[in-house]
């Protein structure tokens, strides 16, 4: 019996990770320190002065030494693509070094060798929340225009090294997160509460210019490559039918859409210009900046989707919490153990919104359920019976299929944390996303052994059937 599926032939199924959350080896192979090495609590606590043993990211899941084993597991699942990031401080340990670190470059050569062994197309994030610490200390990260030059040198180095092997590139991970997490996203050491709006939005501008510059360089050095932006996607619903709530939801939407608008349309949208003016922010934008933004727009839009949110004009109904995206709880939705509301239909909504707005191919590069998993024995084999994860992913992928039927062009889908890794927001390992369980605990104990979860075979079958095994 043949199964019909809306997913196009050649759809890129896979998984996604970030160097700082799984590689470990924070001081091996010539690597310099990144901001993550002094963020032992993620964004849920203050940075430390130096790397401390309680920072799980210093070891991660030891992917730096076990990458071949891990990619073999991805190959066994049938991954068509693997999204990973390059650690900037592995390539330029201080960010402003005269020459790149050959040991760091060679590590990613070996990683790509393993991907090629299993026919896995690499999807590389250039900057995924891992600004070299030296640049944060010396320049306050992206607040300084000097960062553009350091980023250009890094980009030219990795394009020159890997350009013949990597077709798909992303510039900055979740670039709109800089508004909520300036240190993690922008390498800005000035505490958020002390950071002026002027400096924050100037940092945003520098990143946007650097992203366009990377796009320009990619087209010069790798004409066959495809380069995309990456944003957090959160559809905002009005909490009530009140027009004031609908307007509040639109304003919250605009905060996220602005970054895509600049990447795709090449200029700042009017609603953002108004907001900047009302905040008293006057950006330093050069003619060269304007030309770069306008002439070098992205080939595709990639995004993370974990939840929707609601907005209301009544500020008393919006709780203060540690999430990147603030909003009022939606009374119609259930939530994960970390309070992220589960909304598969929201994924279809945001895909239609992005496609209609930008008419650029989409790539879902993060989606998944962070949950506390329990390692158990089933028929003498250690595993995790994660039916909750299977249900979450199934329901979201069904909605991706619906969006494709709606006419949305989608290139691929990579689940977040396809192997357990350290959480970005809380720096815990107990917040697990993977198809592969890694034996490491929040206190740092564990063997680091890998075990396939029930979802491993489920996803393998989804890929094998090109989505035909999904159940509505």
pLDDT value for 328? 85
Q: Which two tokens stand for residue 419?
A: 């192997």
In this prediction the pTM is 0.96
Extract the runs of DSSP E, i.e. beta strands, from 86-235. 121-127, 168-172, 226-232
Whether the CB-CB separation of 429 and 56 falls below 8 Å is answered with yes
Phi/psi of residue 123, nearest 5 degrees? -125, 110
Annotated catalytic residue within 366, 374, 377, 402: 366
Segment 179-220, tens digit of pLDDT: 999 999 999 999 999 999 999 999 999 999 999 999 999 999
Of 261, 297, 263, 268, the closest CA to residue 282 belongs to: 268
Q: What confidence tier does 4 reach under pLDDT thresholds 50, 70, 90?
A: confident
Mean pLDDT of the chain: 96
Annotated catalytic residue within 130, 174, 207, 402: 174
Segment 319-336, tens digit of pLDDT: 765 455 678 889 999 988
Of 344, 308, 300, the closest CA to residue 325 belongs to: 308
DSSP string, 64-116: HHHHHHHHHHHHHHT-SEEEEE--HHHHSTTSS-SS--HHHHHHHHHHHHHHH
Q: Which two tokens stand for residue 139?
A: 């320049």
The dihedral region occupied by 466, where left means phi > 0, alpha psi between -120 and 50, and beta the remainder, is left
Question: Which residues sit opposite 415 in a β-bridge?
Answer: 15
Q: Which residue has the higher pLDDT, 289 or 425?
A: 289
Q: What is the mean pLDDT of residues 299-304?
A: 98
Please give the Cα distance from 37 to 136 (Å, whole number).
Answer: 12
Whether the CB-CB separation of 180 and 245 falls below 8 Å is answered with no
Cα–Cα distances (Å) from 3 to 121, 126, 344, in that order, read 25, 38, 22
Active-site residue 409, yes or no? Answer: no
Q: What confidence tier does 318 reach under pLDDT thresholds 50, 70, 90?
A: confident
Active-site residue 69, yes or no? Answer: no
């Amino acid at each position: 019996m043949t199964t019909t599926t809306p997913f196009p032939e050649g759809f890129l199924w896979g998984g996604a990770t970030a160097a700082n959350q799984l590689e470990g080896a924070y001081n091996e192979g010539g690597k310099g320190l990144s901001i993550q090495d002094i963020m032992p609590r993620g964004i849920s606590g203050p940075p430390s002065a130096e790397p401390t043993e309680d920072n799980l990211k210093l070891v991660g899941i030891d992917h730096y030494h076990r990458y071949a084993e891990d990619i073999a597991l991805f190959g066994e699942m049938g991954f068509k693509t693997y999204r990973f990031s390059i650690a900037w401080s592995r390539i330029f340990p201080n960010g402003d070094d005269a020459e790149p670190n050959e040991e760091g470059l060679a590590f990613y050569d070996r990683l790509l060798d393993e991907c090629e062994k299993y026919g896995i197309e690499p999807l590389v994030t250039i900057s995924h929340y891992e600004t070299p610490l030296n640049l944060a200390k010396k320049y306050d990260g992206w607040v300084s225009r000097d960062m553009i030059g350091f980023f250009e040198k890094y980009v030219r180095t990795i394009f020159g090294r890997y350009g013949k092997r990597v077709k798909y590139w992303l510039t900055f991970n979740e670039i709109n997160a800089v508004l909520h997490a300036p240190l993690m996203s922008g390498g800005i050491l000035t505490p958020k509460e002390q950071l002026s709006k002027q400096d924050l939005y100037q940092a945003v501008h520098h990143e946007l210019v650097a992203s366009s510059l990377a796009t320009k360089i990619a087209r010069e050095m790798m004409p066959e490559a495809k380069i995309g932006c990456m944003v957090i996607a959160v559809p905002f619903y009005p909490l009530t039918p009140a027009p004031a709530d609908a307007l509040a939801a639109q304003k919250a939407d605009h905060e996220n859409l602005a970054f895509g608008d600049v990447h795709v349309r090449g200029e700042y949208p009017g609603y953002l210009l108004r907001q900047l003016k009302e905040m008293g922010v006057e950006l330093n934008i050069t003619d060269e900046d304007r030309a770069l933004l306008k002439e070098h727009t992205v080939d595709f839009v990639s995004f993370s989707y974990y939840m929707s949110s609601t907005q209301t004009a009544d500020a008393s109904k919006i709780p203060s919490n540690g999430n990147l995206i603030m909003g009022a709880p939606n009374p119609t939705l259930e939530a994960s153990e970390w309070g992220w509301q589960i909304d598969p239909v929201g994924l279809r909504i945001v895909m239609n919104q992005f496609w209609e707005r930008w008419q650029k191919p989409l790539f879902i590069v993060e989606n998944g359920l962070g949950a506390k998993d329990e390692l158990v024995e089933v028929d003498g084999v250690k595993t995790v019976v994660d039916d909750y994860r299977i249900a979450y992913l199934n329901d979201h992928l069904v909605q991706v299929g619906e969006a494709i039927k709606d006419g949305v062009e989608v290139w691929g889908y990579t689940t977040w944390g396809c192997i357990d890794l350290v959480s970005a927001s809380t720096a815990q390992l107990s917040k697990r996303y993977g198809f592969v369980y890694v034996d490491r605990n929040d206190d740092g104990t564990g063997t680091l052994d890998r075990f396939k979860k029930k979802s491993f075979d489920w996803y393998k079958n989804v890929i094998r059937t090109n989505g035909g095994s999904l159940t509505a």
